[in-house]
Amino acid sequence: MIRLRSTFLGFALLLALAVSASADEGMWLYTAPPRAQIKAKYGFDLTDAWLDNLMKSSVRFISGGSGSFVSGDGLVITNFHIGRGDLLKMSNAEHNYVRDGFYAKTPAEEMKCLDLELNVLQSIEDVTARVNAAVPADATGTDAALARRKIFADIEKESLDQTGLRSDVVTLYQGGVYHLYRYKRYTDIRIVFAPEEQAADFGGDPDNFEFPRFDLDICIFRVYENGQPVHPAHFLKWSATGAQDGELTFVSGHPGTTRRLLTIPEIEYMRDSQLPYYLQVIKRREVLYSVWSGRADENARRADSDLLNVQNNRKRSDGQLAALQDPVFFGAKVAAEQAFKQQLAATPNGKDALAAFDRIVAAQKIITGLEPRFRLLEDGAGFNSASFSLARRLLRAGAERPKPNGERLPEFSDAKRESFEQLLFSNAPIYSDFEILKLADSLGYLVEQFGADDPLVQSVLAGKSPRDRAAELINTTQVRDLAFRKKLYEGGADAVAAAHDPMIELARVIDPESRALRKTVEAQQEIIQEAHAVIEKARFALEGTNNYPDATFTLRLAYGPVKSYEENGQTIPALTTFAGLFARDDAHHNREPFGLPARWLAKKSAVDLTTPLNFVNTADIIGGNSGSPVVNEAGEFVGIIFDGNIQSLSGDYGYSDVQTRSVSVHSAGILEALRKIYDAPALAAELFNGHR
């Protein structure tokens, strides 16, 4: 924490001095790329053709993450930690593809994923005027939220019917702008290659968000359509040399969420309520999963993805909270907002924007007062199990689908139906023993938070202990049976009610309060969004529109050179090599999490140890960018994002390029490993040449 604190202090001072104006900051919209900034600083012209190829080569993993087409025969590359869940679903007690890796030497050996969906952006349309016109000027709160939900659903359904493309209305600038994103969906995705976990995640949790790094964090899939590999019109050519120190690079990916445009009351909510609550939950789960995993190898395999996720989120959230708890960092945010308000006060129309700040304060106070009931019930933290999630989806699908499209909860809209059904009808394994463990613990947490005498708690537990109730529910529910789910989904509310499934009935018990909480929170969020629209309009008037919105898990462009940095008085080189990897393995006596697989040790003599393995650049990224391609000025693939360094953890709330770095696997290192370690020359050749 001492290290984190000094980092955030340095960033806060830079923020206060406003030096970031010259930094390589921004997760830019493809419709408004920073052409002038890049031309002025680097002398490079972003052409429409260059951007179009990169946009249509970029891939979104709907499960959370990014990737890119890298061959004309449908190869897509992402991170091992993005593909890990799909590898786990294909694994069993006899074949652990997470631990041991996987390579399909022939097309017949490529394994079809059970429920993976990939999206490729095709077009973006500004629908701001249409959305705003559909919301009555005097509507606010619930009425405005319902009106906005209806117009979103109408636009998405109309677009889907006209184009056949997945269509999502995206809120930008906290409600100042609305864009319609259209995606080509792919659902026949097959695994081609993954390294062993110890090579992909070398250093494990101790090295997470650190640098230097030595990870081969890649996973390669092939996309099929109508039973044949797709032949995309756009894919990235593989660079012969890869990223070079000092070279300008670009990152095209899907950053999840940033909060840089939030007001101080909203950030205080993150600092004092949401992040502490979230950390309490995930730290509890981390202990639970770690202890259970230690009891048996099969337990460890079953809990693998869940444990990795909570460890990653715990470390990231700890860093975010540390930033917000730092008085200098937070003080700089306060000072920036105060300065903006002073600017507003001096403008003729600034009064409306200042009043909007007050509405955010009032709405945020209501949302904060609903913690933790909203998180435990509607977010489902009190019912942590895949079985409960399936039960709730079936229950709500029965209630929502008969409603007019624009009146449903957004996840049940016609435009999202195919993606919803893809997950609902997944045949991925769900393990009852792990389900009981998770549900019992979360029910216990529910009791701790609400109290044993809470009427809802008593209804949930039905006179049993959390452990006994969890075992009863998991052992008697049928929702894990695919045929049962299909029957109830097709039969609607009557079939769901007639089933008398205990897990569905549990979901029914909490649904009235859960829906009421959601309705209240969404109404207040609508008020906040409306207020932000007023604030951002005023900001545009003062600063112009040449800026980027907060991240929304939609495609963005970032940029910056491959560049070293200073830490604790030492220069951290921008690139690491295979030599450094083997030296680190040797220094730790080949012990986990720093132990290389036997294959690597046996092939060491065949490897060119000077080959780059990982590198850093100054591109502005956040969670969701994992798997993003890194390209050079020629638009060639030179690496793949897999992490940020420890200094990047404040990136939710601000950016500085002094120490903040994104971390990538080097394209030359990928080819060297495929050729020399994995005996996969055909795969390496396809990547390098662009075709099989």
Mean pLDDT of the chain: 94
pLDDT score of 537: 87
Q: CA torsion sign, 617 to 620 to 626 to 627? A: negative
Q: Is 283 exposed, middle or buried (0-12, 13-18, 19+ CB in 10 A)?
A: middle
pLDDT score of 541: 83
In a domain, 127, yes or no: no
Q: Left if phi > 0, otherwise alpha if psi is -120 to 50, otherwise beta: which for 455?
A: alpha
Q: Which domain holds residue 577?
A: 24-117+187-253+549-689
- Helix, strand, coil tally for the chain in percent (to 5): 55, 15, 30
Q: How far is Cα 295 from Cα 289, in angstroms, rounded to an integer?
A: 10
Q: Across 161-282, where does the E strand assignment appear?
A: 166-172, 177-186, 188-194, 219-225, 228-229, 248-253
In a domain, 498, yes or no: no
Q: Check if the beta carbon of residue 428 is closer than 8 Å to that of residue 87.
A: no
Q: Left if phi > 0, otherwise alpha if psi is -120 to 50, otherwise beta: which for 210?
A: beta
Instruction: Answer whether residue 69 shows pLDDT above 60.
Output: yes
Q: Check if the beta carbon of residue 629 is closer than 8 Å to that of residue 68.
A: yes
Q: Which pLDDT band holds residue 545 (cuts at 50, 70, 90)?
A: low
Q: Is 446 exposed, middle or buried (0-12, 13-18, 19+ CB in 10 A)?
A: buried
Q: How far is CA 84 from CA 37, 115, 644, in A?
A: 37, 13, 19
Q: Which residues pair with 172 in a beta bridge?
A: 177
* Angle between helix 275-293 and 432-450 (nearest 10): 140
Instruction: Answer whether residue 639 shows pLDDT above 80.
Output: yes
Q: CA torsion sign, 315 to 317 to 319 to 321? A: negative
Quote the longest CA-to-CA distance of the chain: 73
Q: How far is Cα 503 from Cα 520, in angstroms, rounded to an integer?
A: 26
Q: Which pLDDT band holds residue 456 (cuts at 50, 70, 90)?
A: very high
In a domain, 654, yes or no: yes
In a domain, 175, yes or no: no
What's 30's DSSP letter?
Answer: T
Question: Any idea of the CA torsion for 490, 64, 266, 34, to the nearest 10 degrees?
Answer: -120
In a domain, 261, yes or no: no
pLDDT score of 8: 36
Q: Taking residues 191-214, report their average pLDDT.
A: 96
Radius of gyration of the chain (CA): 25
CA angle 387, 393, 398 (to 5 degrees): 130
Q: How far is Cα 630 from Cα 274, in angstroms, rounded to an integer?
A: 33
- Would you give the distance in Å from CA 150 to the centre of its chain? 26
pLDDT score of 23: 79
Q: CA torsion sign, 652 to 656 to 658 to 662? A: positive
pLDDT score of 252: 98
Q: Which pLDDT band holds residue 540 (cuts at 50, 70, 90)?
A: confident
Cis? peptide before 372, omega within 30° of 0: yes
Instruction: Answer whether residue 10 shows pLDDT above 70.
Output: no
In a domain, 557, yes or no: yes
- Two structure tokens written together for 91: 């694994």
Domain count, the chain: 1
Q: How far is Cα 635 from Cα 1, in angstroms, rounded to an integer?
A: 39
pLDDT score of 19: 35
Q: How far is CA 6 from CA 567, 568, 595, in A?
A: 10, 10, 31
Q: Taking residues 220-225, report their average pLDDT.
A: 98
Q: How far is Cα 628 from Cα 65, in angstroms, rounded to an integer?
A: 8
Q: CA torsion sign, 291 to 293 to 299 to 303? A: positive
Q: What pLDDT digit, counting tens, does each position of 354-397 carry?
A: 999 999 999 999 999 998 899 999 999 999 999 999 999 999 99
Tokens 């909490």 sit at which residue? Answer: 510
Instruction: Answer whether residue 21 shows pLDDT above 90.
Output: no
Q: Check if the beta carbon of residue 411 is closer than 8 Å to that of residue 420.
A: yes
Q: How far is Cα 50 from Cα 246, in angstroms, rounded to an integer?
A: 21
In a domain, 141, yes or no: no
Q: What pLDDT digit, counting tens, does each position of 115-162 carry?
A: 999 999 999 999 999 999 999 988 889 999 999 999 999 999 999 999
Instruction: Answer whether residue 640 shows pLDDT above 80.
Output: yes
CATH number at residue 589: 2.40.10.120
Q: Is 451 exposed, middle or buried (0-12, 13-18, 19+ CB in 10 A)?
A: exposed
- Two structure tokens written together for 250: 């670009």
Q: What pLDDT digit, counting tens, does each position of 291-334 carry?
A: 999 999 999 999 999 999 999 999 999 999 999 999 998 999 99
In a domain, 500, yes or no: no
**pTM: predicted TM-score of the whole model, two decimal places:** 0.92
Q: Taking residues 673-678, report their average pLDDT.
A: 98
pLDDT score of 140: 86
What's 227's DSSP letter?
Answer: T
